[in-house]
């Protein structure tokens, strides 16, 4: 068995209030670093224009989702904006076993659940540079009416107060800089002594013989 085959992937949680730029940052990160996988969540919300079932989310109805909860299929699940979201336990485990670093784009509630089950995971919280910028980003989507935007802004504050439950915080003001900072977190994790000792087991044995 080679050193690479001995490496199990690491689990990362990336969370943010709606509109902070979490999904855009993760997508940009995928283009700069190999060996990453983004977990595709299951949700009961309606599919949006431009989304693809099985790519953006696994779309299902409430009854099916609750049946999966009863069967303990989810690593975490939560009710967000009146819709259920959940992360498949088996899918994440399979990706980690393949040596992939897995990213969960979930909220603080889900992060708490995952951390209890997998305390070795790393959490990254994305903050907007200001409330004004956050509101501007929400409006620029063109997906919500005024009432929904106000609700999202109120919920954003309730979400952001949990930033200190995470290991890292990135303020997404300059997008390119934020991508570099996110990439640095993933690289640092890969360079930790436990991973490097396994990855370079043969080399270290030769150097110390």
Residue 17 has a CB neighbour count (10 Å cut-off) of 26
Q: How confident is the model at residue 2 (pLDDT cuts 50, 70, 90)?
A: very low
pLDDT, one tens digit per residue, over 93-108 is: 999 999 999 999 999 9
User: Per the domain annotation, does 93 fall within a domain?
Assistant: no
| pLDDT for res 6 | 58
User: Per the domain annotation, does 50 fall within a domain?
Assistant: no
User: Per the domain annotation, does 80 fall within a domain?
Assistant: no
For residue 121 the two structure tokens come to: 């995971």
Q: Structurally, how many domains does the chain consist of?
A: 1
Residue 155, domain extent: 3-39+100-208
| pLDDT for res 57 | 94
Distance CA 47, CA 52 (A): 8
For residue 93 the two structure tokens come to: 């485990």
User: Per the domain annotation, does 182 fall within a domain?
Assistant: yes
Residue 182 has a CB neighbour count (10 Å cut-off) of 25
User: Per the domain annotation, does 54 fall within a domain?
Assistant: no
Q: How confident is the model at residue 7 (pLDDT cuts 50, 70, 90)?
A: confident
Rg (the chain; Cα; Å): 18
User: Per the domain annotation, does 82 fall within a domain?
Assistant: no
> Which is nearest to 8 in space by CA: 120, 91, 101?
101
Are 101 and 35 within 8 A, CB to CB? yes
User: Per the domain annotation, does 89 fall within a domain?
Assistant: no
Half-sphere exposure of 19 (CA within 13 A, CB side): 29
User: Per the domain annotation, does 167 fall within a domain?
Assistant: yes
pLDDT, one tens digit per residue, over 8-41 is: 899 999 999 988 999 999 999 999 999 999 999 9
| pLDDT for res 100 | 96
User: The whole model's pTM is what?
Assistant: 0.87
Task: Tell me the CATH number at 189.
Answer: 3.40.50.300
Q: Write down the mean pLDDT value for the chain.
A: 92
């Amino acid at each position: 068995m080679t050193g690479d085959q001995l490496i199990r992937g690491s689990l990362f949680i990336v969370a943010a209030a709606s509109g902070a730029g979490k999904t855009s940052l993760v997508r940009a990160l995928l283009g700069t670093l190999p060996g990453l996988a983004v977990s595709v969540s299951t949700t009961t919300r309606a599919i949006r224009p431009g989304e693809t079932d099985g790519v953006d989310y696994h779309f299902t109805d409430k009854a099916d989702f609750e049946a999966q909860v009863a069967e303990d299929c989810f690593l975490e699940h939560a009710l967000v904006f009146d819709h259920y979201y959940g992360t498949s336990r088996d899918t994440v485990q399979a990706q980690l076993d393949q040596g992939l670093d897995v990213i969960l784009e979930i909220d603080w509630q889900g992060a708490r659940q995952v951390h209890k089950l997998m305390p070795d995971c790393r959490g990254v919280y994305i903050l907007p540079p200001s409330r004004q910028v956050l509101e501007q980003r929400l409006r620029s989507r063109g997906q919500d009416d005024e009432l929904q935007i106000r609700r999202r802004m109120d919920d954003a504050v309730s979400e952001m107060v949990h930033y200190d439950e995470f290991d890292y915080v990135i303020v997404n003001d300059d997008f390119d800089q934020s991508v570099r900072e996110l990439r640095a977190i993933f690289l640092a994790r890969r360079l930790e002594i436990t991973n490097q000792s396994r990855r370079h087991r043969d080399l270290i044995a030769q150097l110390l013989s």
